[in-house]
Structure 1
C-alpha cells in the first residue's frame, strides 16, 4: 500500500484521496504493486473500507452517468469534491494505517503543517478512529522533523510535540492515547518485559516502533528489535523502518537486504521522485 500511495502522489502530483483509494483497490483486487501479483495480506478494517469504497463508486457512477470502466479514472474536480472518500468502518484503529504513511510526509516535508494534516487524512480514509488519525499525524511530524535535520534526542523528547503544537499541529492536540506516546511512554528499558507489544492496535504498534528506534543505534539493530517483539512482526518493523530509514539514510541500510528487494530499481526510482517532489515547495492538497 505504501507503493500505491507513493505512485498516486507522483502520478497526480498532489494529494488525492480518491486516487489513493483506487490504487488500494487495485492492490486488493488485482495485486497492483504487489511483489507476488496478488494481495498477500490485508487488515480487516482496510478490507471493509475498500469494499465500502467500491459500493460508493457503483452508486456514484449510476447517479452521475459514469461507466464502471471509467469510474476509477475520475478526474472532474467538481465530481471529485462530491465523492465521500472517508470509507472507514466505525472504530477502526488498526496498525495498517501507519504502515503505509511515509510517502505523504516525505512528499510535503517542506510544508510541515500540510504534511501533518495530510498524514492524518491519509489514514482517515480507511481508519476513522481518532487514535489512528492522530498516530498518523504524530508519526508524520516525526518524519518531517528528520527531513529538517532534527536530532534523535530532540525528536523523541516530550518537548518536540509541545513545541510543534501551535504550528505543525495547527493547535489541534493529539488524543490522550497518542499524546502519552509522544510524551515518552515507549521509553521502556526492558522492552517486551516492560509491556512493549507489537500488536495490531495502532497505539501498541506506534509505541513498539518508537521503542525499537529509541533503544537501538542502527537500522538493522532496530528492525531486529521490532521483529523480536513478536505478534504483528512485519507491520511493526515496517512502521519502524519508515522513521529509521529517514533518519539513518539509504547508505546505512544493510546491503544484503537491499539486494533481496523485489523490483529494487523501480522502487529506487519511485523514491527518488518522492524525494524530488519533497524538495519542491508543494502546498497543493
Structure 2
C-alpha cells in the first residue's frame, strides 16, 4: 500500500470512456450476484496468488519504474523484510477471509473491524508479528471505527483485502459494506464490487473468459490489453491499481509473468502485484505458482484456508 504522503489525486480519472471525478458513483454494468460454487484448490490458488505477488513486490515498493528488475523472490529492500514476507495487503486479506469463515460467508463489519485491529495492534495475520507499511486511510479508520469518505481516501487499502468475498454469495451492497470498514468513498466501494465480479468470472471460467467479459466486469475499456505500458499508472489510487492489475492479467499468459510484470511497473509494487496475483491465481489455477515454497509462515496460510473449507458454504459443493 502506498504511504499517506502519496495518497492519490482523484480529480480526473478516465475509465471506460467516463470521466470519473470525486463524488461520482462508479457503476459496473454487469449482472448481479449469482450462486457461487468454488473449489478449495481455487481458494488456495487465490490466497497464495495474492500472498506471493505481495511478497515479490515488498522489496521494491516506492521504487520508480525501470529503476530495478524483479525476476524472482528476494528480501530486504524498501522495508528490510526477509524474502517471502507479505505486507498489510495480504494480512488484511487473511483477516477478511477469517471473518467470513467465522460468519458462514457473511459480511460482519464489526468482526472485520475487530480482526483488522488485531492485525494492526498485535501483528495477527502476519508472518512473524511484524506490522509495516500501513496506509493512512486504513490507520485512521481502524483508530476511529469509521471508514474514510474524503476524496483523498481512495487508496487501494480496501481493494487489496476484498478477494475472499468472491468465494461467497455476498451481494454488491455487502461488498460495499466490507470496503467501507476502511474505505467508504464510492470510488473505492465500487472498485471493490468490480474486482469481486472479475474474480467470480475467473472462479467460474478461469482464463476461458474473453478479455471483453473481464473488462466489462471491471468497468474498464475493452481495448485495455492494447494499451501501452506507459499508459498504465501504478500508483496507490484504487482505480490505478485495478486497471494495472487487469492489464497485467490480460497482457501475460502465466501466473509468473503476470506478477513479475506487476512488480516491475514500480511505485506501489506490492499492492499491484498482490491484486494481480490473486486474479492470476484464479486464472491459471493451483500448481502454477513457482514461489509458494519460498513464502514464510505457510502454516498460517494453510490453517486459514482449511478453516474456510468449513466456514464458507461456496466451498462445500466442490470441496
Q: Is 1:186 aligned with 2:246?
A: no
Q: Is 1:101 aligned with 2:162?
A: yes
CA contact (8 A) 1:212 1:226 kept: yes
| Aligned length, in residue pairs | 222
Larger-Rg structure: 1
- Please, which runs of 5 or more residues in structure 2 have no aligned partner? 1-91
Q: Using a 3 Å threshold, how does the CA distance of structure 1 residues 248 and 116 change in structure 2: closer, same or farther?
A: farther
Using structure 1 for the length normalisation, give the TM-score: 0.71
CA contact (8 A) 1:223 1:237 kept: yes
Using structure 2 for the length normalisation, give the TM-score: 0.64
Query: Out of 193, 205, 208, which is 1:137 matched to?
Result: 193
Alignment RMSD (CA, Å) = 2.2
- Please, which runs of 5 or more residues in structure 1 have no aligned partner? 54-85, 162-177
Q: Which residue of 2 aligns with 1:31?
A: 123
* Higher helix fraction (1 or 2): 1
Q: Is 1:146 aligned with 2:202?
A: yes
CA contact (8 A) 2:120 2:131 kept: yes
Query: Out of 12, 29, 32, which is 2:103 matched to?
Result: 12
Query: Out of 198, 201, 207, which is 2:243 matched to?
Result: 207
SS at match of 1:187: helix
Query: What is the rounded CA distance, in whole Å, between the counterparts of 1:215 and 1:49 in structure 2?
Result: 35
Q: Which residue of 1 aligns with 2:136?
A: 44
CA contact (8 A) 2:234 2:241 kept: yes
Q: Using a 3 Å threshold, how does the CA distance of structure 1 residues 48 and 238 change in structure 2: closer, same or farther?
A: same
Query: What is the rounded CA distance, in whole Å, between the counterparts of 1:36 and 1:273 in structure 2?
Result: 20
Matches within 5 A, 1:130-279: 130-149=186-205, 151-154=207-210, 156-157=212-213, 160-161=216-217, 179=219, 181=220, 183-184=221-222, 186-191=224-229, 193=230, 195-254=231-290, 257-274=291-308, 277=312, 278-279=314-315
CA contact (8 A) 1:105 1:115 kept: no
SS at match of 1:200: coil
Query: What is the rounded CA distance, in whole Å, between the counterparts of 2:275 and 2:235 in structure 1?
Result: 12
The higher relative CO (CA closer than 8 Å, separation ≥ 6) is in: 2
